[in-house]
Structure 1
């Protein structure tokens, strides 16, 4: 009686690796999308803060 794990054949390993690579690629794309969205929100927040603070700075006459 053997309790050894039956290792998958080469074709199964290649298929699994291809799926993992594709999933990794998709996750990288989603991360880029989220990075872009975060940078846009940061940019808008900086602009809003600038607009809020600028009118308060008045030249001394």
Structure 2
């Protein structure tokens, strides 16, 4: 199964928690907004689901 993280840009407040929880595929730009690199692998799926649930602004979505 392949999945991708999507960011709701208007909802994101650049807190960086997604990067802390999933540094393997989420970088931060110079203002702290997430840059998602590539697809969520099977090995990272559980961590990606945690990042989606923990986002304080509910600005992340996991799409399959």
Asked whether the two chains share a fold, i.e. TM above 0.5, the reply is no
Q: TM-score, normalised by structure 2?
A: 0.23
Structure showing greater relative contact order (alpha-carbon pairs closer than 8 Å, 6 or more residues apart): 2
Q: Name the structure with the higher strand share.
A: 2
Greater CA radius of gyration, 1 or 2?
1
Q: Name the structure with the higher helix share.
A: 1
